[in-house]
Amino acid sequence: MSISRIPMLLACLAFSGILPAAAQTDDGVEAEVDAALLNLAERGALGSFDQPLTIARPAQVRYELGAVVDVRKPDPRGIEVLAITPDGAAARMGLKTGDRLVAINDRRLDGDAAPAGVLRDAVRDGNGAVRLVAARGKSRVELDGQADVVAVPAYQLTVGEAAAGTVAGCGYVSDSSLPPRSKGLFNAQITQVDGRSTPLGGINRVRVASGQHVLTIGEQIPGYRLSMMQNRYRIRTQKRMMARVLKPLIVDIKPDTEYRIGVRLRKDRLDYASIRDNEYWEPVVWEQRASTCR
Our measurement of the distance from residue 36's CA atom to the centroid of its chain's CA atoms, rounded to an integer in Å, reads 22
pLDDT of residue 161: 58
Q: Is 66 left (phi over 0), alpha (psi -120 to 50) or beta?
A: left
Mean pLDDT over each residue of the chain, to the nearest integer: 82
Q: What is the mean pLDDT of residues 27-54?
A: 75
Tell me which DSSP letter residue 178 carries: P
Of the segments 84-93, 122-131, 164-173, which one has the largest average pLDDT value?
Answer: 84-93
Residues 194-227: tens digit of each pLDDT: 877 887 656 688 888 898 888 999 999 999 999 9
Residue 162 has pLDDT above 90, yes or no: no
End-to-end CA distance of the chain: 50
The answer to whether the beta carbons of residues 91 and 85 sit under 8 Å apart is yes
The answer to whether the beta carbons of residues 171 and 206 sit under 8 Å apart is no
pLDDT of residue 51: 64
Confidence of residue 124 (pLDDT cuts 50, 70, 90): confident
Enumerate residues 6+ apart whose C-beta is below 8 A from 252.
17, 211, 212
pLDDT of residue 36: 84
pLDDT above 70 as % of the chain = 85
Least confidently predicted of 139-143, 146-150, 263-267: 146-150
Which amino acid, one-letter code, is at 136? Answer: R
Least confidently predicted of 46-50, 260-264, 289-293: 46-50
Phi, psi of 191 (to 5 degrees): -95, -30
Residue 64 has pLDDT above 90, yes or no: no
Whole-angstrom Cα distance, residue 183 to residue 224? 16
The answer to whether the beta carbons of residues 33 and 25 sit under 8 Å apart is yes
DSSP output for 12-71: EEEE-----S-----HHHHHHHHHHHHHHHHTT-S--TTS-EEEEE--EEEEEEEEEE--
pLDDT of residue 47: 64
More confident residue, 27 or 61: 61
pLDDT of residue 24: 42
Coil, strand, or helix at residue 86? coil
Tell me which DSSP letter residue 146 carries: E
Q: Where are the beta strands (DSSP E) in the chain?
A: 8-15, 53-57, 60-69, 79-84, 100-104, 107-108, 129-136, 139-146, 148-152, 155-159, 170-174, 185-193, 196-197, 205-209, 211-219, 247-253, 257-265, 281-290
Whole-angstrom Cα distance, residue 35 to residue 37? 6
Domains identified in the chain and CATH numbers: 8-38+47-148 (2.30.42.10), 167-290 (no CATH)
pLDDT above 90 as % of the chain = 46
Residues 270-286: tens digit of each pLDDT: 999 999 999 999 999 99
Whole-angstrom Cα distance, residue 275 to residue 277? 5
Our measurement of the distance from residue 15's CA atom to the centroid of its chain's CA atoms, rounded to an integer in Å, reads 10
pLDDT of residue 21: 30
Least confidently predicted of 14-23, 45-54, 105-114, 170-179: 14-23
Tell me which DSSP letter residue 136 carries: E
Least confidently predicted of 65-74, 75-84, 222-231: 65-74
pLDDT of residue 200: 62
Q: What is the mean pLDDT of residues 243-266?
A: 94
Residue 15 has pLDDT above 80, yes or no: no
Tell me which DSSP letter residue 231 carries: H
Half-sphere exposure of 287 (CA within 13 A, CB side): 16
